[in-house]
Each structure stands twice: as C-alpha cells, then as structure tokens.
Amino acid sequence: MARTHNLGFPRIGAKRELKFAQEAYWKGQSSLAELKASGAKLRQRHWENQAGLDLVPVGDFSFYDQVLDMSFTLGNLPERVRGFHGDVLDNYFRVARGRSAQAAEAHAGCCGGVAAGEMTKWFDTNYHYIVPEFTAGTEFKLDAGRLLEQLAEAQAQGVKAKPVIVGPVTYLAIGKAKDDSDRLALLPRLLPVYAQLLETLAAQGVEWVQIDEPVLVTELDAAWQGAFETAYGELKTSRVKLLLATYFGQLLENVALAARLPVAGLHVDAVNGRDDVLPLIEALPADSVLSLGVVNGRNIWKTDLNATLDWLEPLAQRLGERLWIAPSCSLLHVPVDLASEQKLDAEVKSWLAFALQKLDEVRVLAQALNQGRQAVRAELDANGADIQARRNSPRVNNPAVKAALAKVDARLGERQQPYAERAARQAALLKLPKFPTTTIGSFPQTADIRQARSQFKAGEIDEAAYQAAMRAEIARSVREQEALGLDVLVHGEAERNDMVEYFGEQLDGYAFSQFGWVQSYGSRCVKPPILFGDISRPKAMTVEWIRYAQSLTDKPMKGMLTGPVTILNWSFVRDDQPRAVSCRQLALAIRQEVLDLEQAGVRVIQIDEAALREGLPLRRAQWQEYLDWAVECFRITANGVADETQIHTHMCYSEFNDIIASIADMDADVITIETSRSDMELLDAFDDFKYPNEIGPGVYDIHSPNIPTEAHMVNLMKKAAERIPAERLWVNPDCGLKTRQWNEVIPALTNMVSAARALRESVA
C-alpha cells in the first residue's frame, strides 16, 4: 500500500489571514496573544485540510520564515539581538525585519530597531529567507519550544504528525560566515544539537521526522559531500525515523550519495528529477522508503494523472509499501484553494490545481495504486478530459505570435552605439549632477489608493473617477519628489496593483485569480499571474500615466516597466513549451511598450529585472544556457531606442556576483541593485570585474521600518566608490517603496538626498 504525505502547507491562509494578523501586531493594533491565537487557528485549519494524508507536516507553519525558525531552534541568534528580555517572538521579528511591534520595543526598553537579517531567495523560487549568520565562534543551543508547542497542538487534534526541520548541511550551506570563516567547521558543534532535537521529538512519541536537504540537488564539492556522510552517520542512532527530503531539481551525480545515507527514507522531486528514480531504486537499501514527489508543488497546472499512473504503476509493483506519494516540494509556493475562485473563467479554471486540489491529486494517485484505477475511474476520466482540452484550446495557441517570434534576429538586441557614446549624449540631454538621486519606482500604496481600486473593481465608481483618483496620487508623488530635491522622478505607480500582475492584466495569454496569493517573505504576499497561452500586447499599457506625470514637472520622469524575465519568473508559467519561448514572446510585447514610451517623449525608461538571478538553474553547468536567452530577452526589450534614451534596470535581493558578466552583457545604461542589507558586500564582484556602465547601489533598506541616517548612507556610498568610479554612481533605495508609509519614506529620502549632496561636496 502506497502511503501519502505532504512536505509543507501554505501558511498564509486562504484569504491571507496571517498577513493581516502580523501587520496588525506590528502596527500596535493587536496584542501578541492575539497574533499567536491567529497562528494557532490557521494551524488547526490547515491540519484539518490535510486530514486524509497518512502523515501530515508539523512545524512548517512560521510567523515569518522557516529558516529563521531553524536559527532560533538552534540558538543561532546574531550578537546584536542577544540579551533581549521580551517575548522570543518579538526578538524573532527584530531579526526578520529590524524591529517588532512599536509597543514591544518600548516595553523592552529599546531605543529603536536593529539591523534586520539579510534576506535572499530560497534556491530558485520567489520565496525569500532570512540568511543564517555565522562566525568562527558560533555556538549552538537547542530551543525546541516553538516546534514542541506546534507538535502538542497537532497531537491533541489527532494529527498523524511528521515534524519538518531544515537539515544541518543545507542550514550551513545557505548561511553566511560574517568573518569569512569555514562554515563546515561548525558542523561538529551543530550535530549534537540536531541529535538532541531528534531525541526530544522521539520522547514526544514522534515516529517520522522530515529533514529537508534541498542542497543535495546542487553541485557539491568533496567537502560538502563528506559533510552529508558525517552528519547522517552521527544522526543515524536517533530513535526517530528520518525522511531526508530533496526537491527543486535533480540529484544526478548525488544519487549514490543520497542512496547510501543511513536514513529510513528519501524523498525526491520526481517532477524535475524523474530520471533519478530508477537509479535510486537500484541503489537504496531494501528496507528504505522512497517518497516520490509526483505532483508539482511549484506550479498550478493539473497533474496528468493517467500519464503519471502509467509511470508509477511499475514502480509500485517493485516497491510495495516502501513507496510514498507526495507533492514534489512544500506547497508553500502555490495558492491554497481553487474552489473559492470567482474571477477565473471556467475554462482556465478547469486546467488548474491549487494546494488543496494537489493534495486531492495525491489521494487519487495513491487510491489508484492501492485499489486499482477502476476505484477512481470518474476522477481519472475527468482529469484526462481537462488535460486534453487545455492541449487543444485555441486560447493557448496564437499563430500570429508564433509568426512574429520566427522573425526575431540578433539585430533586435543591439543598441546603435556603445555605452560610452550613449552616456555622453544622455548626459548632454539630461544634465544630471554627480551622484544623481532617484527611486526605484513605486511610492506608498495608501489606504486611499487601495480603496479607490477596490471601489472601481466593485463598480462603485466609474473609470473616470478612478483615473482622477490615481492622477491625484501621481501628482502627490511628483510634488513630494520635487520638494525632496530628487533628480530623476517616478510617477509612483499608484495605478498598479503589482509589478507583474499589472502588465499581465493587459497582455493576451494571461489569466488572473482572485485569491491566488503566495508568500514572498514575511507578510508580503503576491498573486502571480497565470501565463497560459501565447503572449501579445493589444495596446499601450503605461504611456498615458507616464505622459501625465511628465507634464507635471520639468525634471526627467522615468517610464517604469517590468522586464520579460521577471514577468516570466514571477508568473505561474505554462508547462507545455520551453520557458525561453514564453520569455521571447514577452520580450516582443514589452519592446513595443518601450518604443511607445520613447515616442511619447520619455527619455529615461527603467525595465526591472528583479528576478533575473532566481531563474538560474540550481546547477552551474546549466547556467549559461539560461543566461543566454534571459539576456537576449532583455536586450530585445530594451534596445530599439535611440542613444539619447537612457535605459535603467533594477535587481533586488539576489546574490549576483557570480553572474556579473552576464549582467554587464545586458548593456543597460544604469543598473540599480540591493546592497544595504549586505553592507555593500554585493559589490565585492566589482573588485575583479570592471563593470562598464553606471550603477546605483541601494543605500536605503526599504524592507525594514528603520530610517537610515545621512551618515550611514554616505558611508555605504563611500564603500561603493572604492570599487566603482564616482562619476558612474547613482544614489537610490534598494527597492520600490510601495510597502512603506509616507511618514517613513519622507525622512528616509530626505536623508538620502542630503547624503548625495554631501558626496558631491566631498568630490568637488
């Protein structure tokens, strides 16, 4: 009998209940007890949603981030937050976002926030985790309170609990040594704490523990491979059974390593790594469980159940009770429930599966394996009909788009002149000072903006009233920027709900959900568009808004666009053609918008590619193929303009030192990046690589409520000037400001402009 389980469930709630509870507490509108009660209520509901599984994850719920949870479980707290005397959850929020609720800070006698933990992408997803911090002297001490509390709740509810933790090798691999020490040297100190944790769970009656080691699907040198042997050799004496879980990719050369680790079971991503499965079956010990992730945990398309069963049935005959069935990875990366959707039309909806529907797919597959296909014939027939209808739908296939794509050649991606000549022409036209200041694009999405958008969608106000409200907000943003003294302005993006969704709503080939929210980080949730068909742009998307904003000022106004690679990577992308093909279709559509902006007189155009790096394959051997088409798509988008038109791009919260040459190949005139949380460490790439164009290293961490001082920003820019000539440096925040409040933004930008003026004086 094949068993069923899940690796993790979305924690935010079907209607983003966790987000609203978090933010109410941070704003001082609710108590810590109320926040914890909200979390308990969500956990109870989510366990009920998974009640049909043989084993249910516990500990996958988090008030911010599962990696930060593991840091606190291991007692690995940054020095700056030790000695805090308030509730542990308040200290946890201080690491996550620089501070907890204002009330908690005051109660603890704090004089303000602390530096928030560095944040980066979880492997190749759009989920952000808080990077563990290490030094050569790091010590670990078990604090299992959070996990034990959730386990007790689950057991009281009758849940067949499988605690979930981040494994020791992955935990070290995804962290950062602040003193450049060897992270692997910490393994002997770390493993006894893991052993103690497993023993603590065994004492609570736990049989199975899921220990996540996704780093196994990456290329590992001999030292890191040896770390796996050491770690699991030491943990094999635990009284619990370990299910070592890998996901997001293929094991490839790590198959033999994974198969010989002394664990009771191994989970593999059979969506991305199907070719690993037969070698694993041959290599695993005869009594080892093999869990196959056969339902895609990262995308929202229905599984072809009949085709999956064709593949699974012979494996089930070989493995018997050793076979477990699950999603490929945690369902953290997909929305909760398709059933509540009212916005999606019936045809597109019939092609989709959200978290609850994916668990139902797992149930149907296991039931078919255990009882025969006839036991679930109706479900299999309905699924087959939906799969075939999607394949044949004329909404998916547009011959005109395919014909346009066939005409693409290398000339579309070339500027007329090299950067040096373009820069001189742009300088003569724009007349900017040294250390020019700008922002990344968005300004606070106020309650008035959200109310107007909601009223317009509900039909309570007409389009004219909505546009008037948005124009008023744009005018406010322009006034504030002129008062601050910024050099290149933005229109503030009041009319945009999301930097990807806004564009997707105006492109053919996209669909949009009502409740398709997923967590990006903390309380930040996004609703990825659903890219289901060939992409085209029926009409201009941004021109009138930017033209209006430019009419309000004599200063340069940036046209703000999201680039094709980011639109692709932040969408749920069709799985019936290569991603590169979909990206080229997007590039052609956004290129039309760039040319229309230039035709409207816009001389600075920013094409954000915040997600360029996260699309990288997990294995370096596969990087170049991706980078070739990703850079090509950006260049197709950006390079139809005249030399006088200045092209900007933006990237945030990504380690890109190792792809800096490809970023230079994009040939944007100006690139803005995140560097504030990393204290300019991201600029280490420029020690060995002479970046040829202009760059704005972000000096204002917009994901923290802390307001940076002028001196702090001057210091960061001076560090930048050690690597990049001052005449090619811009001063800007590290990301858009939509999530902040005006009362935070104004003083922070005031200090930023003052910092730029101080820098100009220092080099005069």
Binding residues for Zn(2+): 650, 652, 665, 674, 735
Angle between helices 222-235 and 187-203 (to 10 degrees): 30
Strands annotated E in 668-751: 670-673, 694-697
SS3 303: coil
Contact (Cβ atoms closer than 8 angstroms) between residue 745 and residue 138: no
The answer for residues whose C-beta is within 8 angstroms of residue 128's C-beta and 6 or more apart is 65, 119, 120, 121, 122, 520, 521, 653
Write a three-state SS string for 157-172: CCCCEEEEEECHHHHH
The binding site comprises: 16-19, 121, 126, 440-442, 493, 524-525, 570, 608, 614, 650, 652, 665, 674, 735
Break the chain down into helix, strand, coil percent, rounded to 5: 50, 15, 40
DSSP states of 257-273: HHHHSS-SEEEEETTT-
Conformational region of residue 435, where left means phi above 0, alpha means psi within -120 to 50, and beta covers everything else: left
Contact (Cβ atoms closer than 8 angstroms) between residue 177 and residue 138: no
CA distance 445 to 388: 42
Tell me the pairing of strands 3-4 and 323-327. parallel
At 426, list the tokens: 């742009």
At 418, list the tokens: 């090299």
The answer for residues whose C-beta is within 8 angstroms of residue 106's C-beta and 6 or more apart is none
CA distance 36 to 19: 13
> Which residues does the annotation mark as catalytic?
703
Query: How many other CB atoms sit within 10 Å of the CB of residue 341?
Result: 17
By C-alpha distance, which of 487, 484, 493, 489 is closest to 749? Answer: 484
The binding site for L-methionine comprises: 440-442, 493, 608
Contact (Cβ atoms closer than 8 angstroms) between residue 235 and residue 194: yes
Contact (Cβ atoms closer than 8 angstroms) between residue 546 and residue 560: yes
C-alpha distances (whole Å) from 494 to each of 277, 450, 491, 737 are 49, 9, 8, 11
Residue type, 604: V
- 653-685: burial string, b at 16+ Cβ within 10 Å, e else: bbbbbebbebbbebbbbbbbbbbbbbebebbeb
The binding site for 5-methyltetrahydropteroyltri-L-glutamate comprises: 16-19, 121, 126, 524-525, 570, 614
Tell me the pairing of strands 604-608 and 646-651. parallel
CA distance 539 to 541: 6
How does DSSP classify residue 484?
H
